[in-house]
Structure 1
């Protein structure tokens, strides 16, 4: 029987790359996103490989999530993998210059959306039992702060700790939980963060050979297909070009 993956934020970036990787391996796919037309295009593309169900869904709408999950038809009702990928970063300004609405949007999506989807799918994952997985897309920002990260860093720190706490609560169920934390990655995510500023996007990645969505997809597939008795609690990925810098020191003149 084919396995089934439920992927949030599947219309671009990491989510789309993971959908393609799992489709190539003949996993059934439940793909969610807010752009119905884009989901339809992806369904057409991937249906030649596997069975695909698309749900036009805002992860911030917990009632809609619950209703859609309860109505999942066969064969999508048996979920082996939940990939919590939907998330965003808004703005690069210091905290004192940020727009409060951007902060609230990040909290609602990166935290509220992730916990709502997880809560809705936990019964199905537990029923599936040994070998099922929750993979949460965190970030190195959840562990390593940087200027302008403020609330985004805070939301990804939540994802890390929530993942660890889930591991505690799910002990004995067979359900695995991983916090996958990429570093510098090239995707549409950065264009959203910079308000569509293509120059800022190009400058960030120039000469850096950053992580690509396909790299994350290969990693997700590896995690999801490990022997059922193994759990990777935390996996941090960086491109070789990225490393740590000395602590910042402000000097009075």
Structure 2
């Protein structure tokens, strides 16, 4: 029987790569996003293996209506991949745009919570399912300008662990994938608000992680035996490692 996966944010980057990888491995993918044209493009490519759901993940009513519109045979979701998320700005906290902070919280935290809360009860009812959240190493390692973005990913990390605690004595699995420096996505272009020069300089001469790498990890996590739960996977390119702690020195 074909597994049914719901993947949020499939119109680009990780989400699209995850959807494509799952479909190629005989999953039926329900893909969500705001960009109708991109969703239709995936539908044209994958036909009946892809079900598009168009909504804004920040809008609970839209999510509820979209999920309710699914035919009964697609209501049983085996795998939920909470991929939709964004980073905005790299200004220090005292200069950051409050609207950017709100946008990240509404997407990375509230949007993920909405989807999870709506999908989880049916998994519990069947005593079967897997939730894979896409976090970030920013949820573990602070850096200048990370402020609220890092905080939202720390939420994803802790929420994933607490879900497992709540789901004790069930067969439902929860995993958190925490990528480091990744390229070939819209993430940095969004974060730098369209400044392609900044994006280019960030990835120049670096063998960064690609969306396909994360997609393969998601597939691997879900294809482990049902009694195996991988709590978290932290992924960095070999080009990236840990920096020394900053020390501010006084002027003489």
What is the TM-score normalised by the length of structure 1? 0.96
Q: Quick one: which of 230, 234, 237 aligns to 1:236?
A: 234
Q: Secondary structure at the match of 1:28?
A: strand
1:125 aligns with: 123
> Where does structure 2 lack aligned partners over 5 or more consecutive residues?
none
Q: Quick one: which of 43, 53, 78 aligns to 1:55?
A: 53
Alpha-carbon distance between aligned partners in 1 of 2:96 and 2:67, rounded to the nearest angstrom = 35
The runs of at least 4 consecutive aligned structure 1 residues that moved more than 4 Å come to none
Are the counterparts in 1 of residues 177 and 234 from structure 2 also a CA contact under 8 Å?
Answer: yes
Alpha-carbon distance between aligned partners in 1 of 2:143 and 2:154, rounded to the nearest angstrom = 13
Q: Quick one: which of 111, 114, 122 aligns to 1:113?
A: 111
Q: Quick one: which of 65, 76, 79 aligns to 2:77?
A: 79
2:8 aligns with: 8
Alpha-carbon distance between aligned partners in 2 of 1:29 and 1:128, rounded to the nearest angstrom = 19
Map 1:150-189; keep pairs closer than 5 Å: 150-186=147-183, 187-189=185-187
Q: Secondary structure at the match of 1:78?
A: coil
What is the TM-score normalised by the length of structure 2? 0.97
2:218 aligns with: 220
Are the counterparts in 2 of residues 30 and 52 from structure 1 also a CA contact under 8 Å?
Answer: yes
The alignment yields a C-alpha RMSD, in angstroms, of 1.0
Are the counterparts in 2 of residues 80 and 128 from structure 1 also a CA contact under 8 Å?
Answer: no
Deviations 1:157-194 (A, max 9, x none): 00000000000111122110011100000111110000
Alpha-carbon distance between aligned partners in 2 of 1:18 and 1:75, rounded to the nearest angstrom = 22
Are the counterparts in 1 of residues 138 and 146 from structure 2 also a CA contact under 8 Å?
Answer: yes
Cα displacement (A) at 1:51:
2.1
Q: Secondary structure at the match of 2:150?
A: helix
Alpha-carbon distance between aligned partners in 1 of 2:42 and 2:29, rounded to the nearest angstrom = 11
Cα displacement (A) at 1:212:
0.1
How many aligned residue pairs are there?
Answer: 250
1:18 aligns with 2:18: yes
1:43 aligns with 2:40: no
